[in-house]
Structures are given as structure tokens and as C-alpha cells.
Structure 1
Amino acid sequence: MESDQDVVSALFWNNTTSVAIATLISYEYILQFDKEVKFVWERQWSLMTYLYLAVRYLGLFLALVCAFWGGLLYMPERVSYVLALLMEWGFSAYFCLAEVILICRLYALSNQSRVILYVLLGLFIPIVALSIGMDVFLYSRPAAFSVKEIITPQAKYCTSSFNMGPMPAIYASIPILIYDIFLVVLAVTILVKHLKERREIRMRPNIYVLMIVRYHIIYFVLNLTNQILLAVLWANIPTAAMSLSQMFIDTAPFIIAPRLIISIWDMHVDEECVRISTAFADCVCWTSPPPFEQHEMDSHA
């Protein structure tokens, strides 16, 4: 049984990280809001617009729920349990949306190859099914996951409790990581092919290809770290380490995914890309060379 000192320490770390999460997410949203207005609300919507809005506002909602859940605001045990389930299922939905964005980017990088699109979707559907199955097994059964209310003379708050070891979570993360590795390898392969073709005609690499591949690698590193920390949370680790791990999980994905989309749109405008009026311009604009590249290509002809 936990001592009063352990309970106070856990509550201190919970409230400290909660304030940090709320501050980081709010600051990030305010920081990017002017670009969101410029690239989303004042323009015709495309598929990537809907994906951006999904990851932006689902991520904002989940981050704020994570920040206020637990001890920062008191919630009854039954409400806390429902919110805990909502957070876990929401994390899985967010992961799926982020993966769909990567699939769309690879589809654009491969010159809209339907073969690559069907392969990526065909491999992704079992990943979604696995994610749903593991959420049911790990989080939707009281025997595996529960929430308990802790009452002390100083405070009253709720905390989650894992009633099984970390191995199921580790096993479930392996196919997800393999799929992410496949996406990174495919993106790098497309980049190598692009660099070879550009070298043959003595043209500089397209900045959008480089940017999208770099973002694939960034997301892979982020997701790898996320999966490791999610598995670690099932183990009995010190409160400080658990709180810091939870803070990373509850902020980094919700900041990185929408920011990567915004940055590509921002670059698209700065570079005055050809075919800027197309509905899927944020992905397909690089298929035609910008004016300076077209002039350079003509000079080599």
C-alpha cells in the first residue's frame, strides 16, 4: 500500500505535467492559428484539409483531456474511467489518421501510383483491425485496465491501474513498427530514385520530395519512441519517469502531425509552386517543376 508521501509525490507530478501539457498544447495552437486560417479556413478544402482538421482538433481534445484528467480537476471514479477509455481509443484513432496522412504522401510521391496505394491500404487495414482488437483486450476489460480513486487528507484524485504485464502491449506494437519501417523504406527508395533521375538531367532535387521523406523519418522516430513509452507505462517505474513519459505521449504526436502538414503548405506558398490551384496541391504540386527548374531544364535540352 502506498504511503501518504508517495501519494502526495504522485499528485505533485501529475499536476505539474498536467499544467505543462495544457500550456504546450495551448501555446502550439495559438502559434499555428494564423497559418491555419490562411491555409484552411480561407481556401477550398481538399482531402489533406480534412485530415489536418482531424489530427489538429482530435489531438487538441485528447491533449486537454489528458491534462485535466486525474488530479488537476476532480472527476468521479466512473467519469474518470470513461474518460480513460476515451483517451486510449482516441490515441488509436489518432495513430490511424496520422498513418493515413503518410499513405497519402507516399501516394503523391509515387506519382499517384494506384498499385502502391492499394498495397499500402491492404497492409494498413490489418493494422487497424489489430489496433481495435488490442484496445478491446487491453483497455476495455476491467480485468486488464481499471481506474481507482485515491482519497487523502490533502486531496482526492483518480489514477489508472494496469492489472497485467506489458507483454501484450509490446507484442501489439511490433506489427505497427514493422509497417512504419516499410513506409520509411519505401519513402527512402522513392527519394533515391528521384535523386538519381535528377542527377542524370543535372537538376537539383525537388524540395518537396526531400521534405516529405524527411517528415516520414521524423514521424517514424516519433512513433518508435511513442510505442516504447506506451509499453514502459505498463511496467512498475518511478513516478517521475512515468509522468515525464506520459507528458511526451500526450503532447509530441499532437504537435508534430498537424505542424508537418502546415509546414508543407507554407513551403508550397513560399516557393510559388506550379499548379497551385489543384485540389490536392499540397501533395501533387511537385510533379511539375517550378519555373526556375523548367528554365534550367530547357537550357540543358
Structure 2
Amino acid sequence: MTVISDGPEWWPLINSYRLCSYFLVASFTAVVYDWALTFGQELELIWRQRWSHMTILYLSVRYAGLPYAVAVVLSGLPSVSVSDGGCNVMYFAQNWMTVVIIAILCVIVSSRLYAMYRRSRKMLVFLIAIFLPVTITCVVLAAIGSSYISGEEFILSGTYLCQYDLNGVVKILMFMTWILCTVWGVLALCLAVWIVVKYFREVQQLSTGGTITNCFMVLTKIHMIYFVFFVAVCSIGLGAFSPNLYVS
């Protein structure tokens, strides 16, 4: 049911939505610009080369991000009117696309860790033993949480907003999901740092290096960049559960 109000008590919420919409549009523009700028290189280095499972995973994440960004922008623009059903559809789309993208990123990170540990079977078993329970748990929590959420369109002083009823159960489930993702990110970083430190100790003892050292440096930089963004996203996700951010 659409809620219509012109009361001044909603103005802080309206202003925060408008400010957030500026960042959403800027982020969407950056995503599209990056895709257009690098498409030529992508076509030459990826699309025209022999594909592997990593190629499929990379392209899946890259192109799943575009419709995800569109859904986020549409749900966050205060000038776009959507129905209650539209709010629910966009929420479910964002929620499940987030679960799928994070799962694919975890597979990519696990594959890189497996390569960094020189294709150790013990490490492969360990990563699978951690990855599968975390992923399955996140999927189950997301499914349970989605069943409790219903969206409503708010028209506040001519501004269109999607508001969601997040009860205590949903907040706990979402919090647990973010905690699991954060633990996985920290574990992946620790494993990467550990093998890099161990490798450079061996290099110093044997006085060798070269190409393998450069590969380790590249993988380490990628893990660090990934971890920084991952921590930023998790911090925002966990910070969203502050009671001061919810409008009663």
C-alpha cells in the first residue's frame, strides 16, 4: 500500500535519500565508463582468447554488476516512481544478485589461493570445507530473510522512496550474513599473507626469485585491493544495523 505524506518529520529522510542518490548515480556512471573504456582491451584479451573456467567467472561478475547497478540506481532515485511490487522486485533482485556475486568472488579468491599454495590438495580441501558451508549458510539466511521482507512505496513531498519492513528476525539474519562474509574475507587475507611471507623467506634463503616473485607480488596486490574494498563494503553493511539509521 502506497503511503503519501507531506509532513516535515520526513524531511531528514528525504534529504538523506537525495544525497545518497547523487552517490548512486556517480557510482553507476563510473561503472559504465569503466566498462566502455576497457571494453576494447577486454575484447582482445578475453573474448578472443581461449576460455577457461576463470574467464567465465570473471565475465559473470563483470556483467552481473551492470544490471545490479541499474537496479540499485532505480531503487535509490527519489524521482522514479515504483509500486509496492516494484520495490519488492528490486529488493529481491539486489539481494540475490549480491549473494551470487559474492559466491563467485569467493570461488575466484579460492582459486587464486589454491594457485599460490602450489596446488596443494590439503589447501584445496580446506578451502572447500570453508567455502561450501559459508556459501550454503548465506544462501539459506538470504532465503529466510527474503520471506519476511515486504516493500512499500512512500511518496513524501513529491519524493518517491522504497521503504522495507525489517523486523528483528531479518536484521539478525542479515547481520549474521555480513559476519560470515567478513570472516571469510579476513581468512582469505590471512592465508594470502601467510604464503607470501613464507615464500619470501624461502627466496631469501635460496637467493632465487624472478618471474615467480613477480607473480606473487601481483597476486598479493590483488588480494590487498580486494580486501580493502571488501572491508569497506562489510563495514557499511554492518554499520547499517545501527539503530540510529532506522526510521521508526
TM bucket (normalised to shorter chain) is 0.7 to 0.9
Residue 66 (structure 2) pairs with residue 60 (structure 1): yes
Q: Deviations over 1:82-131 (max 9, x none)?
A: 11111011111111111110111011112222221121011110001110
Give 1:12's match in structure 2, choosing from 9, 12, 18: 18
Q: Give how far 1:213 is off.
A: 2.0
Residue 61 (structure 2) pairs with residue 46 (structure 1): no
Distance 2:41 2:173 in 1: 41
Residue 192 (structure 2) pairs with residue 187 (structure 1): yes
Q: What 5-or-longer segments of structure 1 have no aligned partner?
A: 240-301
Distance 1:156 1:189 in 2: 49
Q: Give how far 1:210 is off.
A: 1.3
Q: How does 1:162-201 map to 2 (within 5 A)?
A: 162-164=166-168, 166-201=171-206
Give the counterpart letter for 1:211 in structure 2.
Answer: V
Give the counterpart letter for 2:68 in structure 1.
Answer: L
Q: Deviations over 1:233-292 (max 9, x none)?
A: 2334469xxxxxxxxxxxxxxxxxxxxxxxxxxxxxxxxxxxxxxxxxxxxxxxxxxxxx
Partner of 2:154: 150
Secondary structure of 1:43's aligned partner = coil
Partner of 1:259: none
Partner of 2:9: 3
Q: How does 1:170-249 map to 2 (within 5 A)?
A: 170-204=175-209, 206-237=213-244
User: Percent of pairs identical after alignment?
Assistant: 23
Distance 2:20 2:187 in 1: 36
Partner of 2:4: none
Distance 1:223 1:9, change over 3 A: same
Aligned length: 236
Distance 1:167 1:2, change over 3 A: farther
- State the TM-score, normalized to the length of structure 2: 0.84
Q: What 5-or-longer segments of structure 2 have no aligned partner?
A: 1-6
Whether the 8 Å CA contact 1:162–1:234 is kept in 2: the answer is no
Partner of 1:130: 137
Q: Deviations over 1:208-251 (max 9, x none)?
A: 11111222233223222222211222334469xxxxxxxxxxxx
Give 1:160's match in structure 2, choosing from 141, 145, 164: 164
- State the TM-score, normalized to the length of structure 1: 0.70
Give the counterpart letter for 1:220 in structure 2.
Answer: F
Give the counterpart letter for 2:117 in structure 1.
Answer: S
Secondary structure of 1:69's aligned partner = helix
Whether the 8 Å CA contact 2:61–2:101 is kept in 1: the answer is yes
What is the RMSD computed on CA atoms of the aligned residues? 2.4
